[in-house]
Copies of this chain bind each other. A is one copy, B any other.
Amino acid sequence: MKFEDFEIVSTASYVPEKTVTNEELTKLFDTTDEWIVKRTGIHRRHVVTNETTSSLCTQVANQLLLKSNLMADEIDLIVVATMSPDYLAPSVSSIVQGNIKAKNAIAIDINTACSGFTYGLHLVRQLLIDNHQKNAILIGGENLSKLVDWNDRSTAVLFGDGAGGVLIRSTVDEGTFIAEDLKTLGSYGDYIVAGYTGRPSPFSSQEVGSPFFKMNGRKVYNFAIEEVPKSINNALAQANLCTDDIDFFLLHQANERIIKRISEKIKISADKFLVNIGEYGNTAAASEAILFDQFVKDKTIKRGNKIVFSGFGGGLSVGTIIIKY
């Protein structure tokens, strides 16, 4: 049997219970709620207390199984997109595979930073096509609060923790995929740096640098409002669609001002751009998946809707994928 496409069976998300308001951040460094809201759209973020990336992802995987009415051993593939794994070995996806006892699933972690969910959709689709695999779990999961310098007001206000995912089934019929456009701009990788892992050895003078986020906010903003509209337009053109054909745009939740500027640039009413950054902050590879699940749950997004996902960030990387849900 040859699979030609995929369909999204179910969505799920899980965030830590603990929230940190902007007001609480004013106790850690010199900032105000007004400043943060105006610059980013963020009011609060969820952060781990005793959770980890793999525990958040395990919650999502278990929800997906339940909602899809599948047994764990029916899962063939688990892909976790993350830039904040618990360990470098074992991978988050392996830990999830063990936790949910998906003994027939192979597990792969990918890292394309904030574009992780769209790159993950691309990858899972390709892995399912023509490969006798039927059911895949794709999760974006992050514990970014451990990569944040909580004394640095320029980055500490931005990030949150959480995980979201989809259960994807391959189909022989018409499926979900419409078009995609992915791009990497590695020459600008130093605009967003996090998680430096260097360490000296008796043979190397490798420096112990900072593991924390360091961003050139202005350059990242310019990159995003330039490259994301281009990527969306490329994907639409491939599918011979115009912006009116799209029901909802689900962009990586990096910054509300970036999303607004992108909606203006591609001349689409801002209300087609679903947004939840106010509640979660930037959760990197998890953000589009958490957003998707939220608006599927509240029935804003309905079966048959045409949806544009667009992720962008570290790498630098940008990825757009258009689906019919």
Contact = CB atoms under 8 A, between A and B. Distances in A.
Contacts of A95: 186, 189
Chain copies in the assembled complex:
2
Contact of A203 (B18, B85, B192, B193): B18
Contacts of A111: 85, 88-89, 91, 108-111
Given A127-B126, A196-B87, A197-B87, A206 B48 contact: yes
Interface in A204-256: 204-206, 211
A317 B184 contact: no
Of the four ranges (under 10, 10 to 19, 20 to 34, 35 or more), the interface on chain A belongs to 35 or more
A139 interface: no
A146 B88 CA distance: 12
A321 to B, nearest CB: 12
A42 interface: no
Interface in A17-46: 18, 20, 28
Contact of A126 (B84, B88, B90, B129): B129
A314 interface: yes
A94 B315 contact: yes
A286 interface: no
A251 to B, nearest CB: 18
B198 A86 contact: yes
A52 interface: yes
A282 to B, nearest CB: 12
A67 interface: no
